[in-house]
């Protein structure tokens, strides 16, 4: 998976491209660990995410919990396949999806 980072004035946007599987989850965790300090708004752009695995879901839940303490997190541009997984797991209710 490729992850493009744009940080601007307390806002961090991460555009994900590829499969959000266990390896991608580890990569995203590392990026978040190094970049979330001082971030008040986190945007995850899923326009190019083809599929999400359980490890990816875990990272989303952990990151949402962390961002609840310091700001907001939203996910944008999800496809029908990812939306279906989030709906089945009921995470669609927990996450801010646009």
Residue 63 within a domain: yes
| β-pairing verdict for 2-8 and 11-20 | antiparallel
Report pLDDT digits (tens) over 20-61.
Answer: 999 999 999 999 999 999 999 999 999 999 999 999 999 999
Domain that holds residue 63: 2-88
Q: What is the pLDDT of residue 14?
A: 98
Number of domains in the chain: 1
Residue 98 within a domain: no
Cα separation of 85 and 69, whole Å? 26
CATH value at residue 35? 3.30.750.24
Q: What is the pLDDT of residue 75?
A: 98
Residue 96 within a domain: no
Cα separation of 40 and 72, whole Å? 6
Residue 94 within a domain: no
Residue 56 within a domain: yes
Please classify residue 75 by burial: count the beta carbons closer than 10 Å to its beta carbon, then call 0-12 exposed, 13-18 middle and 19+ buried: buried
Report pLDDT digits (tens) over 3-16.
Answer: 999 999 999 999 99
Cα separation of 45 and 52, whole Å? 13
| Whole-prediction pTM | 0.94
């Amino acid at each position: 998976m490729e992850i493009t980072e744009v940080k601007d004035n307390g806002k961090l946007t991460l555009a994900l491209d590829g499969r959000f599987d266990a390896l991608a989850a580890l990569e995203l965790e590392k990026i978040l660990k190094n970049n979330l300090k001082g971030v008040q708004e986190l945007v995850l752009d899923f326009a190019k995410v083809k599929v999400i695995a359980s490890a990816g879901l875990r990272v989303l839940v952990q990151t949402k919990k962390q961002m609840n303490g310091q700001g907001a997190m939203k996910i944008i541009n999800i496809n029908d396949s990812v939306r279906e997984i989030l709906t089945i797991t009921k995470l669609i209710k927990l996450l801010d999806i646009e």
